[in-house]
Amino acid sequence: MLNKRSVYDEWHKAVHGKEDTKLIKLEDWHKNALSLSPSLNKLKVLEIGCGVGDFAIYLANQGANVTAVDFSPIAITMAKEKSQIQNINVQFQVADAQALPFEANTFDLILSCECLEHVPEPQLALNEMMRVLKPLGKLILTTENYSNAILLLWLVCWLRKKPFNSGEKVQPIDHFFLYWNVKRMFNKAGLRVEKMTGSHHVFILLPRFHPHTFVIDKFQNPLFARLFRPLARHMTFLAIKK
């Protein structure tokens, strides 16, 4: 566990170490999560897998009372520096998503973006999220989905016996997720999925072409959006504690 923590520290240094701490950057998956979010004003919010803090700072700017955790001490140090520069109050702390240091029934809303696939035991993490949610509290979670052409990258990496790179450098843990098995994990944790959306539909990958060449980010047609959402690379779930 300690070894993986040091690896994640090095990953954050490599990916985020040269970022401008005066800028707050939201990724597409953050925007997907916000599209399913209730009004944040005065909600007690927990972000899990907060990284260097951009999303947590944004949430606090919307009036939420935000606690944000990450496995990496380096990430939390960077996040605290950003929040101080932005003069925004966020309670950042180092924590393991599989053993959250909070009492049961604490938070109105939990957000977790692109984190679940990187924890050793994803089911344990979802169980913990359910535990610390208040009754009828909401969880908005985004994660990778490989029931699309990205599957070809997995196969190529497996054949070449090389670690899979999902986008920004190889991570020490990168689970292979499909829409259906993630939804089963929600149900097993006692979380009822209310809504689901998806973005970044990768239909084909060809040699010497950038992976974004044959992509539809979002379908404008509601029927197509509903039909193809289980095949989107970035899945976003809104779930409620049963």
Instruction: Give pLDDT, residue 166.
Output: 67
Instruction: Give pLDDT, residue 2.
Output: 44
Instruction: Give pLDDT, residue 209.
Output: 75
- Would you give per-residue pLDDT tens digits along the chain (242 residues)? 446 677 666 656 666 666 766 778 899 999 999 999 999 999 999 999 999 999 999 999 999 999 999 999 999 999 999 999 999 999 999 999 999 999 999 999 999 999 999 999 999 999 999 999 999 999 999 999 998 988 888 888 888 888 877 666 777 788 999 999 999 999 999 999 999 999 999 888 887 777 678 888 999 999 999 889 999 999 999 999 98
Containing 155, the helix (H) or strand (E) segment is helix 151-160
Domains, in order of start, for the chain: 2-146+175-199+232-241 (3.40.50.150)
What CA–CA distances, in Å, run from 3 to 9, 172, 173? 10, 10, 12
| Dist CA 55 CA 242 (whole Å) | 27
- Written as six digits, the tokens of 125 are 């993490």
| Dist CA 20 CA 24 (whole Å) | 9
| Dist CA 136 CA 158 (whole Å) | 41
Instruction: Give pLDDT, residue 156.
Output: 82
- Written as six digits, the tokens of 101 are 């240091």
